[in-house]
Chains A and B, each alone.
Chain A
Amino acid sequence: DQQVKQNSPSLSVQEGRISILNCDYTNSMFDYFLWYKKYPAEGPTFLISISSIKDKNEDGRFTVFLNKSAKHLSLHIVPSQPGDSAVYFCAASANNYGGSQGNLIFGKGTKLSVKP
Chain B
Amino acid sequence: DTEVTQTPKHLVMGMTNKKSLKCEQHMGHRAMYWYKQKAKKPPELMFVYSYEKLSINESVPSRFSPECPNSSLLNLHLHALQPEDSALYLCASSQERWGNYGYTFGSGTRLTVV
- List residues of chain A with CB under 8 Å of any chain B CB: 31-32, 34, 36, 41-46, 49, 51, 89, 93, 95, 99-104, 106-109
CA gap between A93 and B104 in the complex, in Å? 15
A102 is contacted by which of B40, B42, B97 (Cβ under 8 Å)?
B97
- How many chain B residues touch A (Cβ–Cβ < 8 Å)? 28
User: Assuming the A-B contacts A103-B48, A103-B56, are A44 and B98 also in contact, with contact meaning beta carbons closer than 8 angstroms in the complex?
Assistant: no
A89 touches B110 (CB 8 A): no
Most buried by A among B98, B100, B104, B105: B100
| Cβ contact within 8 Å between A42 and B99 | no
Which residue of B33, B98, B99, B104 is within 8 Å of A46 (Cβ)? Answer: B104
Q: A43-B108, A103-B48, A103-B56 are in contact. Are A108 and B100 (CB under 8 A)?
A: no
Q: A49-B100, A103-B48 are in contact. Are A109 and B42 (CB under 8 A)?
A: yes
A-B contact pairs, 15 of them (CB 8 A): A31-B100, A32-B100, A43-B4, A43-B106, A44-B43, A44-B105, A46-B105, A89-B43, A95-B100, A102-B97, A102-B99, A103-B56, A106-B43, A109-B40, A109-B42
- Tally of A-B residue pairs with Cβ under 8 A? 61
Contact with A along B52-79 (1 / 0, CB 8 A): 0000100000000000000000000000
Which of B40, B45, B99, B105 is within 8 Å of A43, CB to CB? B105
For the complex, is B102 an interface residue (Cβ under 8 Å from A)?
yes
Chain B residues with CB under 8 A of A31: 100
